[in-house]
Structure 1
């Protein structure tokens, strides 16, 4: 994801811009959260490392509104929607989902304050190791499925499940992060700059059907299947970087070859069912992944 918005902050009730810090001092939201440095980017803008002056701890702070895609006429509706999303995310309490501490609304932005987590992204691990063994991939996949089930039970859809948004902590805990483009189940199909929001290699094929209902829990589970495939096979199941290339690859070869998946094969195939009605749900994927972990799997293939 690639946004680079200037976030609005509030210090004593007045809004400011993070980029003004060199001349106007640090940006502080609600007189409490001092923005220190950008630590990542997501669908709706940068995520900032911040200092909570009241509790004297470091947190992550992110704005939910993309003002470049919001006109004056839709600003009020967008603020209401972002407020509902922040409230819904704050209700999700699960060890495999990033913890939301606070929600703040300023004049033109809705902010969420989240737990600042240390660890490496799954994307970083795959860049380093190339592939993961079946047991480790199954464990990461199981924790992702558990997190997604908690998210979906709150009627929230992540919409950007991918290795870059999965944090793997030193003790092995897996946490879903970056809910910047999350939405609600049953919400209207949301597009941006002429296309469906998300990362093309992980987007489910039904999102592009003429009568698409928009994102659903099943589309998040498709992305889990892509991620599982990538972990054990060392590559993406469907080629291409643009939406049309990925969708063409799915149409031409809907059953990608599995060489190293072993007992994970049925899980991956069930998650990559092109018909969302026949795709595994989170609970079934969890049960199957637990079965995989109960039996020994083949070692990770060596890199060429």
Structure 2
């Protein structure tokens, strides 16, 4: 389906249909329960939003309900770090798929404290170190960045989730101290972890996420404000890493079946970037064995197939 046909296609009724279909599917998966605050989320919620580069926004289901964005926050942190550190960043974190679970310690040790990519936990903790080292108030800088992109000042980190993350973050702490032992964490480890847990605790809706990330579909320029968020080259790089590493150990399958750069989070959210067109955000808390939203995968696959959105 080409661009002109996409413009004529009646998208919002189609999104509502997808949400209805998703809700009617047999129950599959379970909410993330290793973080107690996430285990308490109502698992029946289903949201879907599509923001296009020409300024249109379509929503269905619980698209305006906020949820814990978790690993989706890694996109915002990475863009900020790329803007501040430049190409030197890639000496400290690589851009290859890991092939192992997102919280693997074995691989990190074997590769001398250099994370495989910025979207596994070790890589995101390294990015947090860059931000803590470059900003006197890194958490405030991050939330301000997100609010500007979303055009909403009412975006916050959920303190219950933040405290829950800190209390159950021993494995993340182990990775941070391991990288510190290799000299690849520069700031105080506890400050780095606090930033990382804080960014995972940010609460946003599908509508806000889709709107905030449209710059990645528009060569680094936020369409509504025409502000240059990152360079065209860096937008390309972020999308490339999303394509290979954004969906945990299901990234290859997602590229094979859907064909879009995407990132998921254990809060149940998934964002998919459609270069030149827009951003899709789907949310439903029940996760499959890979940590990806079962119904979110179903809905994004349906949109990509109907509109012919694969980049391949």
The structure with the largest strand share of the pair is: 1
Point out the structure with the larger helix share: 2
TM over 0.5: no
Q: Which has the larger radius of gyration?
A: 1
Give TM-score scaled by structure 1 length: 0.28
- Which structure has more RCO (C-alpha within 8 Å, separation ≥ 6)? 2
